[in-house]
Amino acid sequence: MRVLRLWAAVTLLALPIMAQAQAQPQTQPRVSVADTEPGYRQIQIDVAVSPDPRVAAYEIWFAENSFSSTRDALLHSRIAVMDVDGLERGAPGENYDYCQVDGLPAYLDADGNAVIDRNAARWSCALTGMVPGRDTWIAVVPVSADGLALVDVDGLQPVSGRTDASDERTPPPDTRPVLYALGSIILSTIVLLVFLRQRDARKGRTRSRLAHVYVAPAVIGLITLTFYPILYGIGLAFTDADQSHLGDEAWVGLKNFVTVFASPGMWRVTGFTLVWAIANTAAHVFFGLLLALALNRAGLTGKTVYRTVFLLPWAIPGYISVLAWNGMLQPEGLVNGVLGTSIDFLAGADSARLVVILVNIWLGIPFMMMTLSGALQALSADMFEAAEVDGVSRWDQFRYLTLPNLKSTMVPVSLLGFIWSFNSFNTIYLMTRGNPYVGFGEPGATDILITYVFSVAFEYGQYGVAAAWSVLIFLMLVVFSWLYLKKTRATEASA
């Protein structure tokens, strides 16, 4: 009897919960791709939905292949659904992802993002950033206010669409300005070298008759292919160069720099880049020095074996090591196997950040180890013997003899390491591609400046903006290097 009553109570309690769990799932929104091409790299989708008070937003997912689960697709955008009373409609073409509801431009929320009327049964959007000339599969998922999908996310039926660049392709760029520039640079360099040669002849330096001929190829190569591109890049930062304006870009003044400073996540990505570079450099120097000291010990058995194995992260091509770590950190990978867990380390923003930093530390230690170990071997052994005789402790020997004497190596090498870390594209790109996703057009959670600039330039095709970023990054590095050298010089002078 008591069991029965208990059963009844449990059932009664559970009923509402079950009812909620089994609530009618939303019907899957029907997506169709419009024939019209709204613009370059854009696909227009029309979506038929069944209005439902539970829907708080629609997520648009896409992939290069057909998919049935959101796990195999990328999130393109999330469009909020709300009551539109008191909101204003946007103007056509005003928004990045231009959306329409029932044939009229969508309402905009306070931040200027398109929102969809709660009662709308049809809406359409122009999806930007699509790769031209390739089929793209698109599905729309309604989600509730707490972010849960209201349809089965493993049973999606995406539709395919494509945008063809062929009718948008710009005429082949005019190469003459570049060729003229290169030609005149080469000519003027040759003239300069001939002039210098003449001056030497006048001064009577005859031994160096051929010196200018010897250096000419290298100097011309350097000027045409390094200095000219740098100047070209600086110039590019002030133009509207992008995928559709190449060769006929127009001067836009400081607009690109304004875009950079106004871009969402600018300070976040700069901050993370600094954290990334400083953490990496500090760890590289610390562990590199530790290993160098350990391997510098006289008569250590197996020194050659240790040295050779510790060299491996440097000897193995970097992209291979990074991809290997990527595999080891997957939920079914080795790290989880060792720990007996199945964590997706690269899914959460903080854990992904920590993990990419650790992987990059792993990669960079051998270089520091070998450089510092070379510097250690160059220190005079007599000095340490004398200290030993005087009874100086091991720690004091390190503190007052090794460190000050290593400083002349450590200062430039750590600056170099900082610049390398600052620009180390491979680790981030091959581990996470900057993901976890934060927002469309925004740097991802693990993006550093260089990977973000890469996506601005080669995924969004905004060369001018990317050039502006590059100039700013360069200035940051110059300022940092200058501060660092000034600081270390100052301590040198006071020491």
Partner 1 sequence: MSRPSLAARWYVPAEIQALRLWLSVAVLVNLLIMALDVVRDGKLWPSLLGIALLALGRLSLPDGQANWKKPVAQLLGAGGVALGLFALAISPRLLYDVWSVAWLVVPCLLLVAWLSRPRVADWAGGRSDREFAERGLARNKESMPRLDVVALHLALLHGLAVVIVPVIWIVDVAVSPGNVLGGAIGDAFTLEHFTAVLSGDSFWTWTRNSLVVAAGTTVFGLALAVPAGYAFSRYQFSGRKESMFLFMLVQMFPGIIILVPYFMVMKTLGLLNTSIGLIIVYSVTALPLGVWMLKGFFDTVPRALEEAAVLDGCNQFEVFFRVVLPLSLPAVAITALFSFLAAWNEFLLALVFNTSNEQYTLPVGLASMIPATGQQWGDFAAASIIVSIPVVVLFVFFQRALIQGLSAGSVKG
Q: Which of residues 405-444 bind partner 1 (CB under 8 A)?
A: 409, 412-413, 416, 419, 422-423, 425-426, 429-430, 433
Pairing relationship of beta strands 99-101 and 122-127 according to DSSP bridges? antiparallel
Q: Does residue 364 bind partner 1 (CB under 8 A)?
A: no
d(CA 288, CA 112): 50
Q: Does residue 323 bind partner 1 (CB under 8 A)?
A: yes
Phi, psi (degrees; rounded to nearest 5) at 89: -80, 150
Q: Give the nearest distance from C-beta 51 to partner 1 in angstroms.
A: 33
Q: Does residue 222 bind partner 1 (CB under 8 A)?
A: yes
Q: Does residue 479 bind partner 1 (CB under 8 A)?
A: no
Using CB under 8 A, which of 315, 347, 386, 483 touches partner 1? Answer: 315
- Distant-in-sequence, close-in-space partners of 38: CB < 8 Å, separation ≥ 6: 44, 98, 126
Radius of gyration, alpha carbons of the chain = 31
Q: Does residue 354 bind partner 1 (CB under 8 A)?
A: no
Contact 422, 351 (CB under 8 A): no
Coil vs helix vs strand at 356: helix
Could you say which residues in the range 90-149 bind partner 1, by CB under 8 A? none
Taking the least distance from each CB to partner 1, the nearer of 282 and 419 is 419
Using CB under 8 A, which of 32, 68, 244, 481 touches partner 1? Answer: 481
Q: Does residue 276 bind partner 1 (CB under 8 A)?
A: no
Q: Give the nearest distance from C-beta 438 to partner 1 in angstroms.
A: 17
Taking the least distance from each CB to partner 1, the nearer of 87 and 484 is 484
Stretch of residues binding partner 1 (CB under 8 A), selected from 6-14, 94-102, 395-403, 452-460:
452-460
Using CB under 8 A, which of 119, 160, 184, 308 touches partner 1? Answer: 308
Taking the least distance from each CB to partner 1, the nearer of 258 and 320 is 320
Coil vs helix vs strand at 59: strand
Coil vs helix vs strand at 19: helix
Q: Does residue 2 bind partner 1 (CB under 8 A)?
A: no
Distances 382 to 38, 275, 350 between C-alpha atoms, Å = 77, 40, 49
Q: Which residue has the tokens 């923003």?
A: 349
Amino acid making up residue 475: L
Q: Does residue 312 bind partner 1 (CB under 8 A)?
A: yes
Taking the least distance from each CB to partner 1, the nearer of 244 and 481 is 481
Q: Does residue 486 bind partner 1 (CB under 8 A)?
A: no
Alpha helix stretches (DSSP H) within 296-348? 303-315, 318-328, 334-339
Q: Does residue 153 bind partner 1 (CB under 8 A)?
A: no
Using CB under 8 A, which of 120, 159, 211, 376 touches partner 1? Answer: 211
Phi, psi (degrees; rounded to nearest 5) at 143: -125, 155
Using CB under 8 A, which of 17, 19, 218, 262 touches partner 1? Answer: 218
Q: Does residue 392 bind partner 1 (CB under 8 A)?
A: no
Could you say which residues in the range 17-36 bind partner 1, by CB under 8 A? none
Q: Does residue 72 bind partner 1 (CB under 8 A)?
A: yes
d(CA 126, CA 128): 6
Residues 264, 267, 270, 274, CA torsion sign: negative
Tally of CB atoms within 10 A around 136: 21
Q: Does residue 173 bind partner 1 (CB under 8 A)?
A: yes
Q: Give the nearest distance from C-beta 143 to partner 1 in angstroms.
A: 22
Crossing angle (nearest 10°) for helices 228-236 and 463-494: 120
Q: Give the nearest distance from C-beta 422 to partner 1 in angstroms.
A: 7
Stretch of residues binding partner 1 (CB under 8 A), selected from 109-117, 278-286, 295-303, 382-390:
295-303
Taking the least distance from each CB to partner 1, the nearer of 149 and 294 is 294
Using CB under 8 A, which of 362, 384, 398, 460 touches partner 1? Answer: 362
Give the 3-state DSSP-derived string for 450-488, with helices as H, strands as E and coil as C: HHHHHHHHHCCCCHHHHHHHHHHHHHHHHHHHHHHHHHH
Q: Does residue 5 bind partner 1 (CB under 8 A)?
A: no
Q: Does residue 165 bind partner 1 (CB under 8 A)?
A: no
476 Cα distance to chain centroid: 17
Distances 290 to 285, 293, 316, 406, 462 between C-alpha atoms, Å = 8, 5, 22, 13, 44
Taking the least distance from each CB to partner 1, the nearer of 119 and 175 is 175
By rule CB under 8 A, what count of residues binds partner 1?
113
